[in-house]
Amino acid sequence: CIRDRASTVLKHCVQILDFKEPNAGGLGAVDASLLEGFADLASGENGRSKFSFAAGELIDANKNLIDQYSTTVLHYFDYVKIGLAGCAELPDWQDRWRAYFSGTVNARPVMVAYFDYQACKAPSIDACLELASQVEGCETILLDTFYKTHDLFASIDLKSLKAFASRVRDAKLKLVVAGSVNTSTLAKVLSAVPDFVGVRGAVCNGSRAGSIDPERVKQLVASLANASTYS
């Protein structure tokens, strides 16, 4: 079951365990009742791991976060993220993003910037960084792909990724890099020196919608641990 797999994954020293609904897009919103069932795992008894979850896309949200998810979830989970696909042409997208997270308990907002922002009509990664640097309580920016048909390097070159990572550090924020990262692109991603690397498909059986394979998790964690030099 999902709970057993999550418990197994945590044994491999995963720093952040993220919940999403992969059949509902890159940041598919997770059902509140499912997250409530993991509240005890997220309560800190698991050790060093932290927990995060995806809430979908802001343009589809008809509630703010505190109305969409229970106080139990928002108390025990560490991070929550919502995407900005379709928001580039909204003049008030910054205000909507702020309003969505207002009044949250414990769960800190993660700014999501899409590498392929032009294709999914999201604000630029620079615009997302600018807002994240202004919002109290936002400590992290996630660089991800909206469309999962290509990896991140179809939308950005390594030089540009490194330059963006430097601007994130200058803003005193943490950087998570995701977007179909696998063993063949891991070294390039690590050369930008992100704080975290996010994966889904690389640790699943079959497609990214498949079940998480603990053995693949173990192998990827080992690859990260062995990456002692960056190109």
pLDDT at 231 over 60: no
pLDDT of 167 over the 90 cut: yes
Whether the Cβ atoms of residue 135 and residue 109 lie closer than 8 Å to each other:
yes
What mean pLDDT comes out for the span 88-100? 96
Mean pLDDT, the chain, whole residue set:
85
Better-scored residue on pLDDT, 208 or 164: 164
pLDDT tens for each residue of 169-205: 999 999 999 998 887 888 899 999 999 988 876 767 7
> What pLDDT does residue 206 have?
66
> 141: which DSSP letter?
E
Among candidate residues 215, 60, 216, 85, the one with its CA nearest the CA of residue 148: 85
Helices (H), the chain: 2-10, 32-36, 65-68, 71-76, 93-101, 117-120, 125-132, 158-170, 186-190, 214-226
* pLDDT recorded at residue 72: 83
pLDDT surpassing 50 at residue 144: yes
Summarised one tens digit per residue, pLDDT across range 51-73 is 899 999 999 998 999 999 988 88
Distance CA 105, CA 19 (A): 18
More confident residue, 33 or 205: 33
% residues pLDDT > 70 (the chain): 84
What are the distances in angstroms from CA 174 to CA 10, 125, 151, 166? 22, 14, 21, 11
The predicted model gives 141-145 an average pLDDT of 96
pLDDT of residue 88: 97
Query: For residues 167 and 162, what is the distance between their CA atoms, to the nearest angstrom?
Result: 9
> With 60 as the cut, is the pLDDT of residue 118 above it?
yes
More confident of the two residues 5 and 153 = 153
Confidence of residue 10 (pLDDT cuts 50, 70, 90): low
Rounded to whole angstroms, the Cα distance separating 30 from 34 reads 7
Mean pLDDT of 13-23: 81
